[in-house]
Structure 1
């Protein structure tokens, strides 16, 4: 029976792309690197393009060939090779989670920083259970109530990356103020509880939250929201774009403009201190 084709997960693409950049930096062609490994050129090409897996030990050998002597980098890429096809805890929800969403959760789990611009919604890592259920119910056209409940549970489970013992994820979230004016007719307290959660989350040293005010100047974020997942060098950033058809990933050099756009969006936003003051004011208004 023929071997099953390798699924090009985001982890495998990150590894392949990083190995490709390191090979080029070392001044080696595909055939030269493959020859040094005792391989043929097509195998190296498949590895770099995430069409074939690579053993962790071969990653170590390649890094030596490329002159990489940073032990932390070597360990990170070796682990990435080991975990490239590994199933995560979110596989418990495999009947509900699309392949692209599973890819994103693995990205989120591996990332050191997440930079998120969200013009219409509170980012998932900062949502309450009620807010998650209400917004998913309003947005879906096909999910049953029990599926919504399970997906909301999954969204809250993702938030553990912010409190993990080993290097908690650093989150920098920028949200348009319009998102905080959402109303929920069936459960009016939903937004007040959500605002309170934002205030509590902002007390965490690894969480930064800013608001782009309704009166802001024009900025690059007007074209839509995006999320940047950042990793230790030399692994490049990965950008997530979402729409009704699912998720699209932007990787490598194509991700660079998003980091620059995020900086410009932050420049139009209120400071973190002023943003929290505005949220506290709005939360108080919900009490009246």
Structure 2
């Protein structure tokens, strides 16, 4: 079991965030990224929304990065730790632009990019950006095909309803062969089908931990399963966030758990098929206390679950 680093102030979800996180600056996050790498954390993952309608701010908060920009910055500030999204909203940006942003980041970082795509759920965000919400699944299916084509073919060609290209050059290609790991976030059957066809990773959000094995069986039973799935990310805080970022209570996933409680839960996750997790940010008074806490996790929890 590997541990991702829970970076404070990437968002301000009512369900999970501690009050002190809102004071964390970009400079603080740069220090924390270097610290996470030094301690041996495996990955930093960046959430994404482009704009939040006022009606959703209470639960979702107003603060989100562009995933690709933040991933690139964090990769540039470090040397070894992987960067990911959690998630990037695939239909809201043209796939050629997405492919270029991610291949650039992978090339410059020496091959440290993983990408977790999702179709999105916030209709008002799609409306504001002029993207048809009810076509987001079909768009995502084409977009991921087009992105992989651009990443892997010397003379890429694609013909679809939403994107087409031929007689083009696309470089730099990603460093990773055949391309950066592609994960998908979400729980619906079409998402799981996309995992089966293209994904090496799955990031569930509304799935209860005990239901993960059945979902994995579903993915691997698809007739077009490509056999690539190796990673499942399930963070402690995942079960505390419901649909539309609503607050859910899970007493077994509260912040500030003891060492044994954390180790036991991670062991249970591993039995369910989870390969990577993250320990929730506890109730602390300052960022300096979080430096101490993440060191405690690295020294006490990582060796116990490695």
- TM-score, normalised by the number of residues in structure 1: 0.28
Greater helix share, structure number: 1
Over alpha carbons, which structure has the higher Rg? 1
TM-score w.r.t. the length of structure 2 is 0.27
